[in-house]
Chain A
Amino acid sequence: MTSTNFSIRVSKIKRLIKWAALLSVIYAASLTYLIIDLTTPAEVAIVEAPVDPDLIENGIHMRTGLLEAEGMMSVVTNCTSCHSAKIITQNRMSAERWNETIKWMQETQGLWDLGGNQEIIVNYLVKNYPPTSKGRRMILENIEWYEMEL
Chain B
Amino acid sequence: MSNLQRFYSYINLSFKKLKRREFVKKATLSSFAMLLGAEIIFGAKLPKDYTPLALEGVDPFAMFNKNKGMTVLNDKPWNVEPKVHLLNDNVTPNASMFIRNNGLLPEALDASNWTLTIDGESVSKQKTYTLAELKSKFKQYTYQLTIECAGNGRNEFDPPAKGNQWTLGAVHCASWTGIRLKDLLNDVGIKSNAVYIGFHAVDQHLSKDPKKEPISRGCPMSKAMQDETLLAFKMNGKDIPMVHGFPLRLVAGGWPASVSGKWVNRISIRNKVHDGTKMIGAYKVPSKPVAPGEKVKEEEMRIIESMPVKSIITSPKTGAILAGKSVIINGHAWAGELEVSKMEYSIDFGSTWNSCALKKPANRLAWQHFSATVKLPSSGYYEIWAKATDSNGIAQPMLLPGWNPKGYLNNACHRIAVKVK
Contacts and interface: CB of A to CB of B under 8 A. Distances in A.
Interface of A: 32-33, 35-37, 39-41, 43-49, 82-84, 86-87, 90-94, 97, 101, 104, 108-110, 131, 133-138, 140, 143-148, 150
B11 interface: no
Contact of A135 (B17, B158, B412): B158
B321 A146 contact: yes
A46 B322 CA distance: 40
Interface stretch (B138-146, B162-170, B190-198, B263-271): B162-170
Given A44-B23, A46-B58, A109 B73 contact: no
Nearest to A82: B206
A46 B74 contact: no
A6 B162 CA distance: 83
21 contacts: A36-B24, A39-B40, A40-B21, A43-B62, A44-B23, A45-B58, A47-B59, A48-B19, A48-B57, A83-B206, A86-B73, A87-B163, A90-B73, A91-B160, A91-B162, A104-B281, A109-B206, A134-B156, A140-B417, A143-B319, A147-B323
A141 B360 CA distance: 34
B24 A83 contact: no
B412 A144 contact: no
Interface stretch (B41-49, B177-185, B336-344, B362-370): B41-49
B248 to A, nearest CB: 25
Contact of A44 (B62, B72, B160): B62
Nearest to A107: B281
B17 A37 contact: yes
B300 to A, nearest CB: 17
A148 to B, nearest CB: 4
Contacts of A109: 206-207
B23 A46 contact: yes
B327 interface: yes
B76 interface: yes
Nearest to B56: A49
B318 interface: yes
B75 A49 contact: no
B116 interface: no
A45 B162 contact: no
Given A86-B75, A140-B415, A150-B324, A47 B45 contact: no
A29 to B, nearest CB: 11
Interface of B: 17, 19-21, 23-24, 36, 38, 40-42, 45-46, 57-59, 62-63, 72-77, 156-160, 162-165, 206-207, 209, 212, 281, 316-324, 327, 383, 398-400, 412, 415, 417, 419
A136 B399 contact: yes
Given A131-B160, A134-B158, 9 more contacts: A40-B20, A47-B57, A47-B59, A48-B19, A82-B76, A82-B206, A83-B74, A86-B74, A137-B412
Tell me whether chain A's interface is mostly helix, strand or loop, or mixed.
Answer: loop
Given A101-B162, A133-B158, A148-B316, A82 B417 contact: no
A45 B59 CA distance: 6
Contacts of A44: 23, 36, 58-59, 62-63
A46 B316 contact: no
Contacts of A144: 319
Contacts of B38: 41
B19 A46 contact: yes
Contact of A84 (B24, B76, B163): B76
Contact of A90 (B62, B164, B415): B164
A136 B206 contact: no
